[in-house]
Structure 1
């Protein structure tokens, strides 16, 4: 867009009423400014300025041209100012994508940020489906589990510990499991994506017990894995619904500790076999780029990191 530069230089010369003053503002030499204006006049075939040793004055053609050049200069300054504002102050819309159930984490993490920066807005898209981050104009995406290959920058926020939970009413009716083998006789709740497909014909072979379709993984103190085959009674595609069904006494579920901490503290849920160590899942934050992040992203990233770091300190994996 070099063809627009002479117009901006010309507007600066008129605004400053001096070639040397305009050159200082533009970071150029006076001779370079003079050459640009003279080249503009030669291409147009008309004089734009009357020059003397002390001052400059607009010609009639220059007077007609100057307002258009001034608007171009002002637009350029406004564009630069908007970029500086985006770099230095959190403004505009912050778009965050997170799995279902993460709304209760995003709110406490970013509420102080929105309070501090009144010109910042937030749109939270919660969905377990991996949406297109670019077409959805996402600034920050939270992901749990292993990440697919991507050009986005991933930053680890921590580990999401999982625990086995049941409602007190369920345990009163069915008893509390004493060992991992006891788990197989209980009603299990699980997410649909964790459950293996079992056909109706194969579900009850020879009229016997149903085939297991859910594998619970545990880890011993030596890091060895144990796989416990289980049969789910109720499944759902929604992490929030899974927790709610567990609280209603419909069975035992493996849930993220961060999601059920308050329910455990209030007695709505009880840890089942707390001595069992279950796998934890990495929690990562994705952003488009790290080197040229606007202020709204930088500040939100820092707030999310601080929140999840404090959350991790509240729980020791394997504790009762």
Structure 2
């Protein structure tokens, strides 16, 4: 089938130029290769497509019928190619961005609002779920919080320790990092133990804590903390709404935790579509401002 499609493209070029040599020049192949393609196509279809003479070529009835189909095929291929080039070189089509609900609400939507209004041919698909694959899920840009700086760093985000007023009233306040060992911890991890690093005016220290409640989901950890089950290490974005509502309070505010990087990642470093590149530029400008 692929050979037939190739032969039909060559056949259309031969008819358009009226010669094998003209088609060969357009296609960048030899005249004998053009002749072979036409001969193979005729053999596969069991018909004669061209009357050949020393002066000119003319179409048979079967050739006239096939020529119309071949022209439509070539035109469709050219339109497909042009569509791909347009998507690559213009801000249009569908832009798929992966981000948590919190990051999308706090940063992504405000940052892209004016840009989306300027480009009506661009549609936005925000995907918020765990275990996304940049390639399989066709992600153009992903926003993530990371301790590393891999990708394009947009902003640094503070990590904090929080607990509910209910928990603190029942278990007492946390006066220093060392006292965490005697408190109920909720770890957002897959392990029940963790070293928490602190920094204050007197230097750095690390405290190893154990947890009875462990989850790999930040929202579940915050929900457990809100219900008074213990202290959780989180970040200022995920905890923002609960802190503002007074359902959680920050503890040890004078002791800094390592900051997270809000980074933007693209699916391909070598061939980034213009829409994705422009999105990165808009995000960078938003956070710079």
- Regarding TM over 0.5, the answer is yes
The 8 Å contact of residues 48 and 62 in structure 1, kept in 2 or not, is answered as no
TM-score for the superposition, normalised by structure 1: 0.64
CA distance in 1 between counterparts of 2:217 and 2:256 reads 24
CA distance in 1 between counterparts of 2:187 and 2:38 reads 77
The 8 Å contact of residues 41 and 47 in structure 1, kept in 2 or not, is answered as no
Counterpart of 1:94? 96
SS of residue matched to 1:230: strand
TM-score for the superposition, normalised by structure 2: 0.70
Pair 49,125 (structure 1): closer, same or farther in 2 beyond 3 Å: farther
CA distance in 1 between counterparts of 2:178 and 2:49 reads 95
CA distance in 1 between counterparts of 2:37 and 2:212 reads 83
Pair 5,243 (structure 1): closer, same or farther in 2 beyond 3 Å: same
Counterpart of 1:103? 101
Task: State whether structure 2 residue 282 is matched by structure 1 residue 279.
Answer: no
The 8 Å contact of residues 101 and 128 in structure 2, kept in 1 or not, is answered as no
Counterpart of 1:181? 178
Please, which runs of 5 or more residues in structure 2 have no aligned partner?
Answer: 43-47
Pair 49,5 (structure 1): closer, same or farther in 2 beyond 3 Å: farther
CA distance in 1 between counterparts of 2:175 and 2:37 reads 92
Task: State whether structure 2 residue 156 is matched by structure 1 residue 159.
Answer: yes
What is the CA deviation profile of residues 121-173 of structure 1, one whole-angstrom value per residue up to 9, with x for unaligned ones? 5251421xx554434444334444356xxxxx833333332011222333333
Deviates more, 1:39-48 or 1:248-257: 39-48
SS of residue matched to 1:258: coil
Aligned length: 272
CA displacement at 1:86 relative to structure 2: 1.7
Q: 5 Å matches for 1:60-209?
A: 60=61, 62-87=63-88, 88-92=90-94, 94=96, 96=98, 98=99, 102-107=100-105, 109-110=108-109, 112=113, 117=120, 120-122=123-125, 124-127=127-130, 130-145=131-146, 154-196=151-193
CA distance in 1 between counterparts of 2:152 and 2:3 reads 39
Pair 217,236 (structure 1): closer, same or farther in 2 beyond 3 Å: same
What is the CA deviation profile of residues 175-220 of structure 1, one whole-angstrom value per residue up to 9, with x for unaligned ones? 3323333433333222242523xxxxxxxxxxxxxxxxx4321124
Counterpart of 1:216? 196
Task: State whether structure 2 residue 272 is matched by structure 1 residue 289.
Answer: no
CA distance in 2 between counterparts of 1:229 and 1:72 reads 67
CA distance in 1 between counterparts of 2:204 and 2:64 reads 82
SS of residue matched to 1:126: coil
Pair 293,231 (structure 1): closer, same or farther in 2 beyond 3 Å: closer
The 8 Å contact of residues 49 and 62 in structure 1, kept in 2 or not, is answered as no
CA RMSD of aligned residues (A): 4.3
CA displacement at 1:231 relative to structure 2: 3.6
Counterpart of 1:204? none
Counterpart of 2:45? none
What is the CA deviation profile of residues 237-295 of structure 1, one whole-angstrom value per residue up to 9, with x for unaligned ones? 31001112222333222111122234333433222121101112334333232342234
Please, which runs of 5 or more residues in structure 1 have no aligned partner?
Answer: 148-152, 197-213, 314-320
The 8 Å contact of residues 147 and 259 in structure 2, kept in 1 or not, is answered as no
